[in-house]
Amino acid sequence: MKKVLVTGSCGLIGSESVRFLIQKGFLVVGIDNDMRKKFFGDEASTRWMRDRLESEFKNHYKHLDIDIRDDKKIEDLFKSNKFDLVIHTAAQPSHDWAAKEPMTDFDINARATLILLENVRNHAPDAVFIFTSTNKVYGDNPNLLPLVELEKRYEIDPKHKYHKGIDESMSLDQTIHSVFGVSKISADIMVQEYGRYFGLKTGVFRGGCLTGPQHSGAQLHGFLAYLVKCILDGKKYIIFGYKGKQVRDNIHAHDLVNMFWHFYENPKKGEIYNAGGGRMSNISILEAIEKIEKISGRKAIIEYNDKARIGDHIWYVSDTSKFQKHYPEWKQQYDIDNILTEMCASHRQ
């Protein structure tokens, strides 16, 4: 039986990976020490997902409550297991939180990724290594695009080369990344280097907004999940800057993990892909509020703060053409309406 290591196994993408790969016949070893609770408080804890995974998949899922920064425990784990695949989703995911503790952020996002790569190189050189990066590696360069303000959203000039979405050619330089963006880009480039320099099978997926009903959303992370939670629970939601017209593309966790699967079946060395909802699944905050209100029958309680978050994107839509060219059998299944309907139903349950 093939074996996979999933870091951040109780988070949104980690837990989706666990389910997906167990269905594919894998034995899953999951690492998650519920750091989301430390980052964002009790409401963001992933303990509930750990309990669910251990209950549902007793014979196929082994949970380890260890810290990915612990060199010794990670090395012992690789020495005692033969992994065919490593999916690295564990991270400090908020650029707001990273500014409060830059050392912790870099330690988790960058150094821990290097620890995992070294152990793959030394103990599992034939394994496929998949890393969940972020569109924040492009910093605020997307904000320099020729954007047009519409009634409920910003849009890009239809004649611009990025109208279909931002591809991997966008520069990473001369920009404000946020402290979080810097730690993630450090890991991003290192994963590429271990593929190109050492010849490992590594893939980098630069996500837009990753979402789905399993997301433990919080104010500082998890835009759609937190917005759904606020509206359905009657809590105040604060919009930060850009009149609420900032646009995000949202990719459902299943669609992203399915990208991982196609890469695993035909891996490359040090490849990068933008991975977001693209033109099929994107929305502004104002549009999202309107749609959730319609689906739920609840009225949102909104407060506006005109100070935008540092490094926040005004408009970001991913172009996934490169991945689709490399893996033409991959098909995106969820649009924004499917996602929001599912999330509202799940929150009610």
Please report which confidence band the pLDDT of residue 95 belongs to, taking 50, 70 and 90 as the band edges: confident
Please report which confidence band the pLDDT of residue 222 belongs to, taking 50, 70 and 90 as the band edges: low
Q: What is the pLDDT of residue 311?
A: 74
Q: What is the pLDDT of residue 218?
A: 63
How many whole angstroms separate alpha carbon 164 and alpha carbon 181? 24
Using an 8 Å Cβ cutoff, are 205 and 259 in contact?
A: yes
Please report which confidence band the pLDDT of residue 40 belongs to, taking 50, 70 and 90 as the band edges: confident
Q: What is the pTM of this model?
A: 0.95
pLDDT at 190 exceeding the cut of 80? yes
Question: If you average pLDDT over residues 176-193, what whole number do you get?
Answer: 96
Count of helices and strands (H, E) across the chain: 13, 15
Burial 46-66 (b: 16+ CB within 10 A, else e): beebbeebeeebeebbbbeeb
pLDDT at 125 exceeding the cut of 70? yes
Q: What are the tokens at 251? A: 């990719």
Q: What is the pLDDT of residue 217?
A: 64
Please report which confidence band the pLDDT of residue 221 belongs to, taking 50, 70 and 90 as the band edges: low
| Segment 250-298, tens digit of pLDDT | 999 999 999 999 999 999 999 999 999 999 999 999 999 999 999 999 9
Q: What are the tokens at 95? A: 């650029």
Write down the mean pLDDT value for the chain: 94
Residue extents of the structural domains in the chain:
3-348
Q: What is the pLDDT of residue 41?
A: 84
How many whole angstroms separate alpha carbon 90 and alpha carbon 300? 32
The share of the chain scoring above pLDDT 90, in percent, equals 87
| Segment 54-82, tens digit of pLDDT | 999 999 999 999 999 999 999 999 999 99
Q: What are the tokens at 91? A: 């991270």
Phi, psi of 347 (to 5 degrees): -65, -35
Question: If you average pLDDT over residues 24-46, what whole number do you get?
Answer: 90
CA distances from 188 to 113, 176, 271 (A): 9, 17, 10
Q: What is the pLDDT of residue 219?
A: 65
Burial 321-337 (b: 16+ CB within 10 A, else e): eebbeebeebebebbbe
Using an 8 Å Cβ cutoff, are 25 and 1 in contact?
A: yes
Neighbours of 241 (CB within 10 A): 16
Specify which residues 202 forms β-bridges with: 129
Class in CATH terms, 3-348: alpha beta
Task: Pick the more confident residue, 218 or 246.
Answer: 246
Using an 8 Å Cβ cutoff, are 202 and 191 in contact?
A: yes
